[in-house]
Amino acid sequence: MSVEQQDERTIRCLVAKVGLDGHDRGAHVIARALRDAGFEVIYSGLHRSPDEVVQAAVQEDVDVVGISILSGAHKTLVPRILDGLREYDAFDDRLVLVGGIVPDDDQPELRDLGVDEIFGPGASMAEMIQYIREQAPER
């Protein structure tokens, strides 16, 4: 039949720009690369609040929450997103990734809070895609 059986589930990723950071070129590149890797990408658009990111992550039932922050406000914004995800029971079965500029000193704190991985400026797309394929939680 023309309708192929979908044995392999499609991985859904949210690419979210949060806060007062207007630089979305990187997020666009990532969104496109994830699409080309066969993922479904929900792109949030610019200037999203943590609430909106949580709303999108819950409603879209994404496997991966990708937060792009270049503004330096990660220490306030990321914890609020993580709290929101926990509030809706949407934390345990989701990967939370942060991309952008996060100083080395801040990284342990974010990981302790529940961020699974942080991708800085040097990270390659192949690396990120492989990480998602390997780590996306079984449901």
Residue of 23, 37, 109, 125 interacting with another protein (CB under 8 A): 37
The torsion defined by the Cα of 8, 9, 10 and 14, in degrees rounded to 10, comes to: -140
Decide if residue 133 touches another protein (CB under 8 A). no
The region of 44-52, 75-83, 95-103, 112-120 touching another protein under the rule CB under 8 A is: 44-52
Decide if residue 68 touches another protein (CB under 8 A). no
The region of 74-82, 87-95, 107-115, 116-124 touching another protein under the rule CB under 8 A is: 87-95
Place of tokens 């309708």: 3
What are the tokens at 90? 């949407």
The closest alpha carbon to 93, from 135, 52, 56, belongs to 135
**Angular region, 136: left φ>0, alpha ψ -120 to 50, beta rest:** beta
Decide if residue 116 touches another protein (CB under 8 A). no
The region of 7-15, 72-80, 103-111, 114-122 touching another protein under the rule CB under 8 A is: 7-15
Residue of 22, 51, 124, 130 interacting with another protein (CB under 8 A): 51
Q: Which is nearer to another protein, 9 or 111 (CB)?
A: 9
Q: Which residues of 61-83 are buried (b: 16+ CB within 10 A; e: fewer)?
A: ebbbbbbbbbbeebeebbbebbe
The closest alpha carbon to 135, from 95, 99, 104, belongs to 95
Decide if residue 20 touches another protein (CB under 8 A). no
Decide if residue 107 touches another protein (CB under 8 A). no
